[in-house]
Structure formats: C-alpha cells, structure tokens
Amino acid sequence: TEDSSTAGRGGDVRLTGIGKTYGSFTAVHPLDLTVPQGSFFALLGASGCGKTTTLRMIAGLEEPTSGTVHLGDQDVTALPPYKRPVNTVFQSYALFPHLDIFENVAFGLRRRGIRSVKKQVEEMLELVQLGEQARKRPHQLSGGQQQRVAVARALINHPKVLLLDEPLGALDLKLRRQMQLELKRIQTEVGITFVHVTHDQEEAMTMADTVAVMNAGRVEQLGSPADLYENPRTTFVANFLGTSNLIEAEVDSASGGELTLKAGGGKLVLPEARNSAGATTGGRVLVGVRPEKISLTHADDAGEIPGGRNRITGRIADSSFIGVSTQFVVDSPVCAGFEVYVQNIDRDARLVPGAEVVLHWNPAHTFGLDAAQSPL
Ligand code: ATP
C-alpha cells in the first residue's frame, strides 16, 4: 500500500518553481505551492497579478517558462489539457446553445463514447439542483443556473481537480453570494480539489479553506481566511483584506511577551506573538488593528474604560450609518494624519462629528508589520 504521508494523492496539486515570462515581462515569478487533495483553494489578487496565468498553467492552457506541475505523483507539465485529470469552469459559461441542459452535461461522457449516460447526468443535475431543468435550453435559464450547468458539465468526467476562473464574475452581487455558498456545498459534497481564481476578497474568504494572496506575480501570503485577516504579514495583505488602520510606532521596551510602543505621544502594547516583522527595542514597527475590534467611547466617559487596553484619543471626523453598525472616521495625532475607521453598534447621541473620543481595544488584536513598507 502507498504511504499517504509522502506519496502525492491523486488530487494534490504541486507546483514547483513554476513561472511564466512574456518576453522581458514576468507574469509569474517562479513559485512553489501545494494544494492538498480535497481542499478549496483560492488564488486572490488584483487584476494583472498573475493568478489566471497560474491557473492556466495548472490546466495546461499556458506553457510555463520554468518549473513543473504535478497532480498527485504524476508530472503533467508536458501533457496537453485534455490529458490532465482536471477541468476548468470559466466566467463565460461556454454552454452549447443548441443543446438542452441534459445534453450539455452529458457531452463529456458522450465524447468518450459512453452510451448509457442517464443515471450519471441525472445525479449531476441533482447535485447542482437543476433536476427540473433538464429539458430546457441554456438561454431559458438564469445566469446562476447556467453557471451551475457549467459546473455539472465540468464535474461529469470526475476530474481530480476542478479549476474555476472567476466563475461568478458575470453575476450580480446577490446571486454571487448565493453561488458562493452553492459552490462550497458542491465542493464539500464531491470532495475533490477546487482551485478558484478571484479578485474579490469576500468571495475568497467565504469559500476557501486556504487562500494565496498574489501581488505582482508572487504569492505574498498563504493561509486560512481567518489567519490572513488576523495576522497579515505585509501592508498589501492587510489592506487588500479589509481596513487595517496602520499606525507608525517605535518599540520602547520589550518584556513579558509584550512590546511597549510609543506612537504620537501615546503608548500601545503589541504582543510578541503578533510581532511578525520581529521589531526590537529602538526599532520601528507599523501596527494595525481591524475596525471592528475597536470600541469607541466619548471622552467624558474615558474613566469607565477598563485598564490594560490599547487607547488612542481623537476627534470624530465623520460617521455613517451602515445598517448593522456605524462607521466612524476619527482623526488622531497618534495616527499621524491617518483616519481610523471604527464600527460600533452602540448608539450614543454624543458620538457626532467634532466629538472628542477614546478608541480602545484589546492589545491581542494588534498586529505588527515591517515598518520599511509603505503603510498604504
Ligand atoms: P485578470 O484578473 O485581469 O485576468 P490576473 O491576475 O489573472 O488578472 P494574468 O491574466 O495572470 O493576471 O496576467 C498577468 C500579467 O501577464 C498581466 O500583466 C498580463 O497583462 C500579462 N499577460 C498575460 N497574458 C499575456 C500574453 N499572452 N502576453 C503578454 N502579457 C501577458
């Protein structure tokens, strides 16, 4: 029997030194990446970062300039797309308009010469919850339904890996959200590896077990959605996945697993465990905190704030009601001209623009970044 701890399983995707240049332009710098079998993996980044090129190299649609692609133990680098145990779903669903839904899904089986397709096609249509639509034509379905047909068609030949290239890009926001949950459910049910390309951070966070954040042809950080959000290691990742409220500070002292920082005349605490850049006494560090971790108290009530919290004083510059919360923009000398966004569900009539406030949060929610980077 195979030793599963060392041998690649069929649905593992292993990229080794894979890179792509176009003339003198490097679209993807050589990168190493392993996607474990059965996981939902997202390549996330802004337009032009190289995520689609990476996906296309896994599919065999783009020839790498360097490196190898393994699926399980098989080196597929030299194989054409149709000989790889992968299938791709594109943003343009590319359904056959003249065939009904049943025949669209059956296509891959029929092409392989399989005659009795009924049971398999019906199972697939059940999986994507389109059992009732089998005899309709693509144009009679909604965008979300058409996308589900494309998924069923891609899954019918039991690929080991399904590649999804911005599959929800053509859908409106509400439908996108429904389809995110739907794709996640399908992936869990079939248990095969999904590699999903998107520029939408919420989409990647909602669906993926692991997210690779790409920037300028490199993977900047790889991790679970929660880890990337709570422990970003670069300003790019911190800012791409939400608002990060970055503050420039100097390390004053270090003891008991904590760094004490000086920032604009105030004092902040950064737990050593969250000091990813390894700042030391006398050095500089960029510290961040997510907006929803911050509480906001009117300066008149500052005495009620419990001890041991990081505090910043400031003045409300702006506030906007956004349903579940109110978003405040606070100007503070500590933030050296930066604005601080705060979400706070407490209603307090005094919390209006111009009001003096104290922002405070549990130091455990502070993260430290290399100060050599631009905070923006
Ligand atoms: P998008 O979401 O806009 O597709 P992306 O992150 O998926 O962006 P890629 O499509 O991977 O980015 O492209 C990465 C870079 O490589 C881009 O700057 C793009 O202009 C460049 N590129 C892609 N294909 C070619 C090509 N055939 N010739 C030259 N440059 C290319």
Q: What is the pLDDT of residues 114-144, one digit of tens each?
A: 888 999 999 999 999 899 999 999 999 988 8
Q: Which of 21, 51, 168, 219 to mutate to test the pocket of ligand 1 (most atoms within 8 A of CB)?
A: 51
56 lines ligand 1 (CB under 6 A): no
> Is 375 or 98 the better-scoring residue by pLDDT?
98
Report the C-alpha gap between 206 and 356 in whole angstroms: 37
CB atoms within 10 A of CB 376: 8
Report whether pLDDT(346) > 80. Answer: no
Q: What is the pLDDT of residues 185-234, one digit of tens each?
A: 999 999 999 999 999 999 999 999 999 999 999 999 999 999 999 999 99
From the CA of 55, give the closest atom in ligand 1. 11
Report whether pLDDT(20) > 80. Answer: yes
Report the C-alpha gap between 146 and 92 in whole angstroms: 10
- Nearest to 71, CA basis, from 63, 324, 81: 81
Cα 66 to ligand 1 centre (Å): 17
**118 within 8 A of 96, measured Cβ to Cβ:** no
Report the C-alpha gap between 49 and 27 in whole angstroms: 7
Indicate the domain borders of the chain. Answer: 13-239, 243-370
Q: What is the pLDDT of residues 283-333, one digit of tens each?
A: 999 999 998 889 889 999 999 999 999 999 999 998 888 777 788 889 888
Q: Taking residues 164-175, what's their average pLDDT?
A: 86
The CATH code of domain 13-239 reads 3.40.50.300
Report whether pLDDT(8) > 80. Answer: no
| Protein residue closest via CA to atom 31 of ligand 1 | 22
Least confident stretch, 59-63, 157-161, 333-337: 333-337
Place 349 in a pLDDT band, splitting at 50, 70 and 90.
confident
Q: What is the pLDDT of residues 46-104, one digit of tens each?
A: 999 999 999 999 999 999 999 999 999 999 999 999 999 999 998 877 899 999 999 99
47 lines ligand 1 (CB under 6 A): yes
pTM of the model: 0.88
24 lines ligand 1 (CB under 6 A): no
* Plot region of 208 (φ>0 → left; ψ -120 to 50 → alpha; else → beta): beta
**85 within 8 A of 161, measured Cβ to Cβ:** yes
**87 within 8 A of 195, measured Cβ to Cβ:** no
Instruction: Report the pLDDT value the prediction gives residue 322, as an integer from 0 to 100.
Output: 78
Instruction: Report the pLDDT value the prediction gives residue 79, as an integer from 0 to 100.
Output: 96
| Protein residue closest via CA to atom 21 of ligand 1 | 27
Cα 144 to ligand 1 centre (Å): 26
Report the C-alpha gap between 225 and 40 in whole angstroms: 12
Q: What is the CA radius of gyration of the chain?
A: 25
Place 338 in a pLDDT band, splitting at 50, 70 and 90.
low
Q: Taking residues 242-250, what's their average pLDDT?
A: 88
What distances in angstroms separate CA 44 from CA 106, 154, 202, 228, 278, one per listed residue? 32, 22, 10, 12, 26
**156 within 8 A of 110, measured Cβ to Cβ:** no
The CATH code of domain 243-370 reads 2.40.50.100
**260 within 8 A of 254, measured Cβ to Cβ:** yes
Instruction: Report the pLDDT value the prediction gives residue 372, as an integer from 0 to 100.
Output: 83
Cα 30 to ligand 1 centre (Å): 15
